[in-house]
Structure 1
Amino acid sequence: MQKGPRIYYETTNVKSLRCAPGVMLGMVKSYLRKRFFAPQSRRYSTYKWVLACFCLLVPGWQVLPAASLSEAQIKAAYLYNFAKFVEWPADVLPPGADILLCVVGNSVLDGELQALDGRKAGERTLRFVQHNYTDADLNNCHLLFLGSSEKAHFVVTLKALRDAPVLTLSDIDDFAEKGGGISLLFRDNKVVFEVNLEPIRNARLHLPGQLLNIAAIVYGR
């Protein structure tokens, strides 16, 4: 699949894709804000999530970004937004602390995930760290992405983490079904994700309801 420019989605300043010209996106932003949301309202967080994921989620538009963005870039954009909206316990991720994005194994996402190093995720900074699945300090990660090369033993890694406050992610097909936190999958010419709430609850993490509403499958609901 042809790669396009590296684009990620900001919470309050979503960069338009070729599928959504800036003028149209501006109209959508204005409509959502005036029709449903007001700053500092309880529903404003919903507005931010809808806006952040708009180009990826609008029916009929999901296929079009693939012409200008690779599958890996779109999956990395999802992961970037997860880093911004998932909540960790205060004792695990205190104010101002960096978010550690750890990667184990090889994946087509490798280059895109490395490019997230140093990017701002809200008020925090993402830090990319490469690991081996046998490393003892995986519990110190905040996000742990397991590459497709880990298909044979990702379940062992998940069991070793136990209830550590780590959001596990992968593009392995049955990852969420077998105990992983979030699977990023390419189906029917679009990127979707699945969520397993049991390991996420055990890890004491909180996912926004808006995220769960747009997941393809939610296990353990």
Structure 2
Amino acid sequence: MRSLQPLLASLSARLRRRASRQLMGRAGAACLLGLALCASPIARADTVAEYRLKAAFLFNFASFTEWPDSLGDTLTVCVHGEDPFGASLDGIAGKPIGKRTTAVRRTLSADGLNGCDVVFVTQPVISNLPRIFDQLAQRPVLVVADSPGATQRGVMLNMETSGGKVSFAANLSAARRHGLNLSARLLSLATEVIQ
């Protein structure tokens, strides 16, 4: 958890700056600031802030994944299905992850997943996992979801909300099959790791 503190501190500072720039008023700025201060590997979630936190988790997941050198200069995060993140995910666009810059894309079709490096599979389309994995083949793509049992179905990282907290499970075996290695620091925070 300590190794993620600098990243979380940076996220907190960015959210504070964004809150003041958007002139949301004191109540909105206080809510956003409170969210940033609570953002941790296991953080409080409610219906308003849940996907804001999950967007931060997606960024952390990508940051703590070892990517092949052949990937290029851009790390593209794609949302497959109806987008639950809204503008929250757009906040990571342009942010650096290692030597790469982050881009964000949305697609309703599995055919639109070409060029994606991280794919978040939304709950309404989780039943399409076989088609999604066929489309991705064995390319180095990190597949993330927030659906019950998704890690057992091949998703590499699955966020879970329980008791007002967001946590995640990892499928290390699936990640390695796709040529990705998940950081030991990330795996140490997972509630479950499938070897």
- TM interval, short-chain normalised: 0.7 to 0.9
Tell me, yes or no, if the aligned pair for 1:146 and 1:169 is still in contact at 8 Å: yes
Instruction: Give the number of aligned pairs.
Output: 171
Q: Say if 1:174 and 1:155 are closer, same or farther in 2 by CA, change over 3 A.
A: farther
Tell me, yes or no, if the aligned pair for 1:107 and 1:148 is still in contact at 8 Å: no
1:185-217 CA deviation, whole Å, 9 max, x = no partner?
111210011111122001111111011111011
Using the alignment, how far apart are the partners of 1:212 and 1:85 within structure 2?
9
Counterpart amino acid of 1:116? Answer: I
Q: Which residue of 1 aligns with 2:80?
A: 104
Q: Which residue of 2 aligns with 1:164?
A: 139
Larger radius of gyration: 1
SS in 1 for 2:40: helix
Q: Which residue of 2 aligns with 1:56?
A: 40
Q: Say if 1:150 and 1:18 are closer, same or farther in 2 by CA, change over 3 A.
A: same
Structure with the larger strand share: 2
Counterpart amino acid of 1:159? Answer: D
Q: Say if 1:166 and 1:18 are closer, same or farther in 2 by CA, change over 3 A.
A: same
Q: Structure 2: any 5+ residue segments left out of the alignment?
A: 1-5, 14-32
Q: Which residue of 1 aligns with 2:179?
A: 204
User: Which stretches of structure 1, 4 residues or longer, exceed 4 Å deviation after superposition?
Assistant: none
Q: Say if 1:57 and 1:157 are closer, same or farther in 2 by CA, change over 3 A.
A: closer
TM-score (norm 1): 0.67
Using the alignment, how far apart are the partners of 2:159 and 2:86 within structure 1?
14
* Equivalent residue runs for 1:173-192 within 5 Å: 173-192=148-167
SS in 2 for 1:198: helix
Structure with the larger helix share: 2
Q: Say if 1:188 and 1:142 are closer, same or farther in 2 by CA, change over 3 A.
A: same
* Equivalent residue runs for 1:40-189 within 5 Å: 55-57=39-41, 62-63=43-44, 66=45, 70-91=49-70, 93-94=71-72, 97-135=73-111, 138-189=113-164
- State the Cα distance separating 1:108 from its structure 2 match: 2.1
Using the alignment, how far apart are the partners of 2:86 and 2:147 within structure 1?
14
1:111-138 CA deviation, whole Å, 9 max, x = no partner?
3223322223344211111223331x62
- State the Cα distance separating 1:139 from its structure 2 match: 4.3
Q: Which residue of 2 aligns with 1:13?
A: 10
RMSD across aligned C-alpha pairs, in angstroms? 2.7
Tell me, yes or no, if the aligned pair for 1:158 and 1:180 is still in contact at 8 Å: no
Tell me, yes or no, if the aligned pair for 1:89 and 1:205 is still in contact at 8 Å: yes
Question: Which structure would you say has the larger RCO, counting Cα contacts within 8 Å and 6 or more residues apart?
Answer: 2
Q: Say if 1:131 and 1:214 are closer, same or farther in 2 by CA, change over 3 A.
A: same
